[in-house]
Amino acid sequence: MVWVVINFMILTPFLFPPTFTIYLYIILPFLLTANIWGGWVFFCKPNEPRLVHILYNGFMGITFSFGSFIVIQKIAYTFIKIETPLFFIVTFVLYIFTIYKLISIGMKSFLRRLNNEENDNIKISPIVYLSGLGYIIGQICVGTLSQNGLATVLILVFSLLAVVFSISGAYIWVYVDLKRNEMDGMHNGQI
């Protein structure tokens, strides 16, 4: 189900004119690879070692994060009509920096969980309040903003999606680390 929703969110902005632009051709190979690989993992390897699933989750997270970044560029350059490459350069640098920081934070969190150093004082109620508040703000924006205002809100929403999806990119580093430990164990005769 998550797979269908994520594909829908990434592909929907490409259905609006202009449809077949450079943006679609950039992201389409990654989406096709993620979907074909996902079908293969789901149908052919459902009970295989978890390494395959960990690598797929990491690739899917990075692919959909990059897809959100491409959607941001399409909205900015086609709907808002930005004509300078400065927007692309600044957002690309921010995107790469954000992914780097999130993956490093994700790895630290993974290592804390691995060593049972997790904090149990997590409060969920602020998340519930913020999601309701986001829904209300979204409804107000749809009713009152101009087309450029809505495009700006969509850029902010897809920026958030790019950040959320990039968190899954930490799975690639988890995969590399687990694979390296497996190879070290094979060389040392432990496996």
Q: What is the pLDDT along the chain (191 residues), one digit of tens a residue?
A: 566 777 777 777 777 676 667 777 888 888 888 888 888 887 877 776 677 778 888 888 888 888 888 888 888 888 888 888 899 999 999 988 888 887 777 667 666 666 666 555 555 556 666 667 777 777 777 777 777 888 888 888 888 888 888 877 777 777 777 777 776 665 555 55
Task: Take residue 149 and report the two structure tokens written for it.
Answer: 């205002």
Please choose, from the candidates 57, 71, 26, the residue with its C-alpha nearest in 3D space to the C-alpha of residue 162.
71
Q: What single letter denotes the amino acid at residue 27?
A: I
57 falls within a domain: yes
Domain residue limits at 75: 2-119+153-187
Q: What is the pLDDT of residue 29?
A: 87
Task: Take residue 177 and report the two structure tokens written for it.
Answer: 């680390």
Q: What is the pLDDT of residue 89?
A: 92
From CA 34, how far away is CA 40, in angstroms rounded? 10
pTM for the model stands at 0.72
Q: What is the pLDDT of residue 36?
A: 86
45 falls within a domain: yes
140 falls within a domain: no
72 falls within a domain: yes
Rg (CA), the chain: 19
- How many independent structural domains does the chain possess? 1
124 falls within a domain: no
Task: Tell me what percent of the chain is helix, strand and coil, each rounded to the nearest 5.
Answer: 80, 0, 20
Q: What is the pLDDT of residue 169?
A: 75
35 falls within a domain: yes
137 falls within a domain: no
Task: Take residue 163 and report the two structure tokens written for it.
Answer: 């950040």
126 falls within a domain: no
